[in-house]
Structure 1
Amino acid sequence: MPVPVGIASVALWLPEHQDTAASAVAERRVEARTAKDLGNPRLPVAGDIAPPEMAVLAAQEALHDAGVPAAELSLLLHAWMYYQGHDLWSPPHYIAHQLGAHTAVPVGIQQICNGGAAALELAAARMTAGEGRESAPRHALVTTADRFAMPGFDRWRSDYGAAYGDAATAVLLRWPAGPDDLVLRALHTDAAPHLEMMHRGADPFAHLPRENSAVVDMRRTKRVYLREHGVEPFKKTNREMIRHVVAGALRDAGLDAGDPRIRFVVLPRLARKTLDDAWIPLLRELLDAPAVDWGCETGHLGTGDLAAGLHEVSGRSALGAGEFGLLLNAGAGFTWSCAVVEAPKRH
Structure 2
Amino acid sequence: MRFVDEAVIRVEAGDGGNGVVGFRREKYIPKGGPDGGDGGDGGSVYLVATENINTLVDFRYQTVHRAQRGQNGMGCNCTGRKGEDCFVAVPVGTLVREAETGEIMGELITPGETLLVAQGGFHGLGNARFKSSINRTPQQTTKGTPGEHRMLDLELTLIADVGLLGLPNAGKSSLIRAVSSARPKVADYPFTTLHPNLGVVRVDDLRSFVMADIPGVIEGASEGAGLGLQFLKHLSRTGLLLHLVDVAPYESMASPVESARVIINEVKSWSDDLANKPRWLVLNKIDCLVPDEVESHCQAIVDELEWQGPVFKLSALTGGGTWELMYAIMEFLEQKRQGVSE
- Structure with greater helix percent: 1
TM over 0.5: no
- Normalising by structure 2, we get a TM-score of 0.28
- Normalising by structure 1, we get a TM-score of 0.28
Larger Rg: 2
Larger RCO, structure (CA 8 Å, separation 6 or more): 1
